[in-house]
Amino acid sequence: MYQLLDWYEQVRDFLEMGGPVLLVISALSFVMWALIFERIIYYRIGLPKYITAFTDQWKARDERRSWNARRIRDAILSRVSNKIEQNLPLIKTLLALAPLLGLLGTVTGMIEVFEVMAFSGTGNPRSMAAGVSKATIPTMAGMVVALSGVVASTLLSRFAHRRVEHLRAELTTKR
């Protein structure tokens, strides 16, 4: 119990040191990782059933070489591709947004440093330290969120591309 309370206090102190921008970066990180885990769970559980339904529909066709059959194949590939790549653009957008929010935290922290310098001059380094931490912590947090998400996003994109190509090869026009 005490360890949980200690952990909570450490997180609270860290968020206070980083300022309000760090809260936004934390929320962005939570949403991004929720979307990443949603995609992983979908790829493991929902996608195989979805693909099986379409491949069974394709294999049940007697004729696969006509123009109409090829358009049906293209429609199947398009539907599956859209379902596989769902939320990936949003994840990539959140990845791009994380370092920008970190830079916003840098700017707001530096503004605080300049305000302290204007009131007390440059002779008081302790008063400037809080602004410097508000400048560096959000930058670091934005970069950590972006770098950790880039790895996951790249793996998800590669999986999606490979799965669509595998399905394209599986839905042959040969009988």
- Say how far apart CA 101 and CA 138 lie, in whole Å: 8
- Say how far apart CA 163 and CA 80 lie, in whole Å: 9
Which strand (E) or helix (H) includes residue 10?
A: helix 2-18
Q: Are 95 and 32 spatial neighbours (Cβ–Cβ below 8 Å)?
A: yes
- Residue 133 pLDDT level (bands cut at 50, 70, 90): confident
Q: So what's the pLDDT on residue 31? A: 96
Render pLDDT for 65-111 as a digit per residue (tens, 0 to 9).
888 888 888 888 899 999 999 999 999 999 999 999 999 888 888 88
- Say how far apart CA 28 and CA 105 lie, in whole Å: 14
CB-count exposure of residue 108 (10 Å: 0-12, 13-18, 19+): middle
The per-residue b/e assignment along 80-103, b for 16 or more CB within 10 angstroms, e otherwise, is bbeebbeebeebbebbebbbebbe
The pTM of this model reads 0.83
